[in-house]
Structure 1
Amino acid sequence: MQWESLPLNSVSTDTLRRDYAAALDTGDGVEGPNEGDAEAAFEAASITRQAEYWAPLLSHSPWSP
C-alpha cells in the first residue's frame, strides 16, 4: 500500500487554532443574525463570565467501521 501526501495532511489542532484566531482578528468572517442589543444586556448584567473553549482535532476517518 502506498499513501499519497495530501495538503490536509498538515492540519493539526495547533494549526486550526492558529488559523481560527487569525480569522477572528481580521474580522472578515460571516456574521449571523443581529437581533436585540447584546451590548446593553452586558452593561445591565450584574455578573458576566468570559471563557474560551477548545477541543482537539478529531479524525473523521476511523480505521474500521
Structure 2
Amino acid sequence: MTFFYWFMAVVMAATLLPSVLYMGIYVFTGEDEAFLRARKFWVLLRVFALLFFNVTVWGHVIVAAWQLFR
C-alpha cells in the first residue's frame, strides 16, 4: 500500500499544481481558457482523491476480511 500512497500523492500533486497555476493565470489575465483548464484539473483532482479514498477503504476491508477468515 505504501507504493499506492506515494503514487496517488504524486498524481494528486500533478493535478493540483497545474490547477493553481491556471487559476493564477486566470486571476491576473482574465482569460477564460485558463479558467476552464483550472476547473478541469480541479475536477480531476477530486476524482483522484475519491479514488484514493475508495481504494484505501476497500483495501483495508479486504485485508481485514482475509485475516479474519484465514
Q: TM-score, normalised by structure 1?
A: 0.29
Structure with the bigger RCO (C-alpha within 8 Å, sep 6+) is 1
Q: TM-score, normalised by structure 2?
A: 0.28
Larger Rg: 1
